[in-house]
Amino acid sequence: MLKAGDRAPDFSNPDADMNIAELSQFRGRTLVLYFYVRDDTPGCTTEALEFSELEGEFAKLGATVLGVSRDDCIRHGEFRDKHGIGVRLLADKDQTTSEAYGVLQDKEVDGAMRKSMVRSTFVIDKQGIIRHALYGVSSRGHAAEVLQLVKELK
Protein backbone atom coordinates (compact mmCIF):
# COMPACT_ATOMS: atom_id res chain seq x y z
CA MET A 1 0.00 0.00 0.00
CA LEU A 2 1.13 3.51 -0.76
CA LYS A 3 1.59 6.06 2.00
CA ALA A 4 2.20 9.78 2.45
CA GLY A 5 5.65 10.70 1.16
CA ASP A 6 5.71 8.09 -1.62
CA ARG A 7 6.07 9.21 -5.22
CA ALA A 8 2.74 8.78 -6.99
CA PRO A 9 2.86 5.98 -9.57
CA ASP A 10 2.57 7.14 -13.17
CA PHE A 11 -0.67 6.35 -14.95
CA SER A 12 -2.09 6.74 -18.42
CA ASN A 13 -5.82 6.11 -18.74
CA PRO A 14 -8.57 7.19 -21.13
CA ASP A 15 -11.51 9.22 -19.86
CA ALA A 16 -15.17 9.00 -20.87
CA ASP A 17 -14.37 10.91 -24.09
CA MET A 18 -11.38 8.65 -24.78
CA ASN A 19 -8.88 11.44 -24.06
CA ILE A 20 -5.79 10.17 -22.26
CA ALA A 21 -4.99 11.48 -18.78
CA GLU A 22 -1.46 11.00 -17.44
CA LEU A 23 0.07 11.92 -14.10
CA SER A 24 2.64 14.15 -15.83
CA GLN A 25 -0.15 16.41 -17.14
CA PHE A 26 -0.90 17.48 -13.58
CA ARG A 27 2.60 18.50 -12.44
CA GLY A 28 2.31 21.94 -10.87
CA ARG A 29 -1.25 21.24 -9.67
CA THR A 30 -2.63 19.29 -6.77
CA LEU A 31 -4.33 16.11 -7.95
CA VAL A 32 -7.08 14.21 -6.18
CA LEU A 33 -7.22 10.70 -7.59
CA TYR A 34 -10.13 8.69 -6.24
CA PHE A 35 -10.81 5.04 -7.00
CA TYR A 36 -14.35 3.71 -6.88
CA VAL A 37 -15.96 0.34 -7.41
CA ARG A 38 -18.39 0.72 -10.31
CA ASP A 39 -20.38 3.27 -12.27
CA ASP A 40 -24.03 3.79 -11.41
CA THR A 41 -24.04 2.06 -8.02
CA PRO A 42 -25.51 4.01 -5.09
CA GLY A 43 -22.30 4.71 -3.15
CA CYS A 44 -20.23 5.45 -6.23
CA THR A 45 -22.90 7.78 -7.62
CA THR A 46 -23.05 9.66 -4.31
CA GLU A 47 -19.28 10.02 -4.24
CA ALA A 48 -19.05 11.20 -7.87
CA LEU A 49 -21.85 13.74 -7.37
CA GLU A 50 -20.28 15.11 -4.19
CA PHE A 51 -16.89 15.52 -5.88
CA SER A 52 -18.65 17.18 -8.83
CA GLU A 53 -20.53 19.59 -6.55
CA LEU A 54 -17.21 20.65 -4.98
CA GLU A 55 -15.21 20.70 -8.22
CA GLY A 56 -15.21 24.53 -8.30
CA GLU A 57 -13.87 24.67 -4.74
CA PHE A 58 -11.09 22.24 -5.64
CA ALA A 59 -10.28 24.33 -8.73
CA LYS A 60 -9.99 27.50 -6.61
CA LEU A 61 -7.29 25.68 -4.63
CA GLY A 62 -5.46 24.66 -7.82
CA ALA A 63 -6.61 21.04 -7.55
CA THR A 64 -7.98 18.67 -10.17
CA VAL A 65 -10.21 15.71 -9.28
CA LEU A 66 -10.15 12.48 -11.27
CA GLY A 67 -12.22 9.35 -10.60
CA VAL A 68 -10.92 5.90 -11.60
CA SER A 69 -12.74 2.59 -11.91
CA ARG A 70 -12.45 -0.59 -13.97
CA ASP A 71 -15.45 0.40 -16.10
CA ASP A 72 -14.83 1.23 -19.76
CA CYS A 73 -15.02 4.64 -21.43
CA ILE A 74 -18.51 4.08 -22.84
CA ARG A 75 -19.94 3.14 -19.45
CA HIS A 76 -18.21 6.19 -17.91
CA GLY A 77 -19.85 8.43 -20.52
CA GLU A 78 -23.29 6.97 -19.84
CA PHE A 79 -22.78 7.34 -16.06
CA ARG A 80 -21.54 10.93 -16.42
CA ASP A 81 -24.38 11.95 -18.71
CA LYS A 82 -27.11 10.21 -16.70
CA HIS A 83 -26.15 11.93 -13.42
CA GLY A 84 -24.54 15.17 -14.64
CA ILE A 85 -21.14 14.27 -13.19
CA GLY A 86 -18.55 16.98 -13.76
CA VAL A 87 -15.30 15.31 -12.72
CA ARG A 88 -13.34 13.33 -15.30
CA LEU A 89 -13.74 9.59 -14.98
CA LEU A 90 -10.84 7.39 -16.08
CA ALA A 91 -11.17 3.84 -17.35
CA ASP A 92 -8.76 1.26 -15.90
CA LYS A 93 -9.95 -1.86 -17.74
CA ASP A 94 -6.56 -3.57 -17.52
CA GLN A 95 -6.30 -2.68 -13.81
CA THR A 96 -2.73 -1.38 -14.22
CA THR A 97 -3.41 1.87 -12.38
CA SER A 98 -5.48 0.16 -9.68
CA GLU A 99 -2.64 -2.33 -9.11
CA ALA A 100 -0.02 0.44 -8.99
CA TYR A 101 -2.00 2.30 -6.33
CA GLY A 102 -2.73 -0.85 -4.31
CA VAL A 103 -6.50 -0.49 -4.35
CA LEU A 104 -7.35 -4.06 -5.34
CA GLN A 105 -7.79 -6.75 -2.73
CA ASP A 106 -8.60 -10.43 -2.95
CA LYS A 107 -12.16 -11.13 -1.89
CA GLU A 108 -14.16 -14.34 -1.91
CA VAL A 109 -17.23 -14.11 -4.14
CA ASP A 110 -19.40 -17.19 -4.67
CA GLY A 111 -16.61 -19.46 -3.46
CA ALA A 112 -13.97 -18.00 -5.78
CA MET A 113 -11.27 -15.44 -5.03
CA ARG A 114 -11.61 -12.27 -7.09
CA LYS A 115 -9.94 -8.88 -7.15
CA SER A 116 -12.20 -6.31 -5.56
CA MET A 117 -11.76 -2.52 -5.61
CA VAL A 118 -11.20 -0.81 -2.27
CA ARG A 119 -12.70 2.70 -2.34
CA SER A 120 -9.59 4.84 -1.95
CA THR A 121 -8.38 8.41 -2.51
CA PHE A 122 -4.94 9.90 -3.01
CA VAL A 123 -4.05 13.57 -2.65
CA ILE A 124 -0.96 14.17 -4.79
CA ASP A 125 0.98 17.42 -4.49
CA LYS A 126 2.37 19.62 -7.26
CA GLN A 127 5.61 17.64 -7.37
CA GLY A 128 3.89 14.26 -7.72
CA ILE A 129 4.29 13.19 -4.08
CA ILE A 130 1.41 11.53 -2.26
CA ARG A 131 0.41 13.72 0.68
CA HIS A 132 -2.59 11.60 1.75
CA ALA A 133 -3.37 7.95 0.98
CA LEU A 134 -6.86 7.03 2.18
CA TYR A 135 -7.95 3.40 1.82
CA GLY A 136 -11.39 1.96 2.59
CA VAL A 137 -13.21 5.30 2.70
CA SER A 138 -16.98 5.84 2.89
CA SER A 139 -18.62 7.54 -0.06
CA ARG A 140 -20.96 9.95 1.73
CA GLY A 141 -19.20 13.14 2.86
CA HIS A 142 -15.83 11.96 1.58
CA ALA A 143 -15.42 14.73 -1.01
CA ALA A 144 -15.80 17.41 1.69
CA GLU A 145 -13.20 15.63 3.85
CA VAL A 146 -10.78 15.54 0.93
CA LEU A 147 -11.42 19.22 0.18
CA GLN A 148 -10.40 20.02 3.75
CA LEU A 149 -7.17 18.02 3.32
CA VAL A 150 -6.39 19.95 0.12
CA LYS A 151 -7.00 23.26 1.94
CA GLU A 152 -4.46 22.21 4.59
CA LEU A 153 -1.68 21.48 2.08
CA LYS A 154 1.22 23.89 2.30
From the list 33, 44, 68, 130, the catalytic residue is: 44
Exposed, middle or buried, 111 (CB in 10 Å: 0-12/13-18/19+)?
Answer: exposed
The answer to whether the beta carbons of residues 1 and 105 sit under 8 Å apart is no
73 catalytic, yes or no? no
Phi and psi (nearest 5°) for 39?
-60, 145
For CA atoms 73, 15, 39, 35, give the dihedral sign: positive
Please check whether residue 139 is in contact with residue 119, taking contact to mean a CB–CB distance below 8 angstroms.
Answer: yes
Active-site residue set: 44
